[in-house]
Amino acid sequence: MKIHRIDHVGVIVNDLSAAKKFFLDLGLTLLGEAEVKGEWAERILGLNDVRETVVWLGTPDGHAKLELVKFRTPSAEKSIQQSSANTLGIQHIAFAVENIEAIAAKLRKGGAELFGEIQNYENTYKLCYVRGPEGIILELAEEIK
């Protein structure tokens, strides 16, 4: 028995078009979109009357995938709770980037919010945290060469 890799990260959203645009602006590529429903999905998810729209995105190098899911039915039980960088649980997705300043500026222009500032970490990385639609938190990391 062995694990090969993380296959993808799934993010449940209400505003699928805003989340899709956010990640396309970041530089991910659209891999596909589909409507998902049926008994097989209900049995996997443990939910009844499942109807969802799924968007698959990938990194340019092809090594990582992101799955955005908008549940049409059943609806979410709670609204989005804005979390902080220190909130317990899974809080962010980290992306290795080039030209962190330009990417952060592009995301801010699209409505994203920088948590603080872009910082130089021991002359090895430039780092920052960005909050996008649906409260999605990204860490951007640019290696300093």
Delimit the domains of the chain by residue range.
9-73, 93-143
CA pair distance 48, 26, nearest whole angstrom: 34
* Predicted structure pTM score: 0.87
Q: If one looks up domain 9-73 in CATH, what number appears? A: 3.10.180.10
pLDDT band at 26 (very low <50, low <70, confident <90, very high): very high
pLDDT for the residue 61 = 93
Collect all residues with Cβ–Cβ distance below 8 Å to 97 and sequence separation of at least 6: 27, 103, 140, 141, 142
Question: Which residue type sits at 30?
Answer: L
Question: Which residue type sits at 57?
Answer: L
pLDDT for the residue 23 = 97
CA pair distance 44, 47, nearest whole angstrom: 8
- How much is the mean pLDDT over the chain? 91
pLDDT for the residue 16 = 96
- Tokens 């530089």 -> residue: 27
Collect all residues with Cβ–Cβ distance below 8 Å to 100 and sequence separation of at least 6: 118, 126, 127, 128, 140, 141, 142
CB burial readout 8-42, b (16+ within 10 A) else e: eeebebeebeebbebbebbebeeeeeeebeeeeee
Class at the top of the CATH hierarchy for domain 93-143: alpha beta
State the burial class of residue 91 (Cβ atoms within 10 Å of its Cβ: 0-12, 13-18, 19+). middle
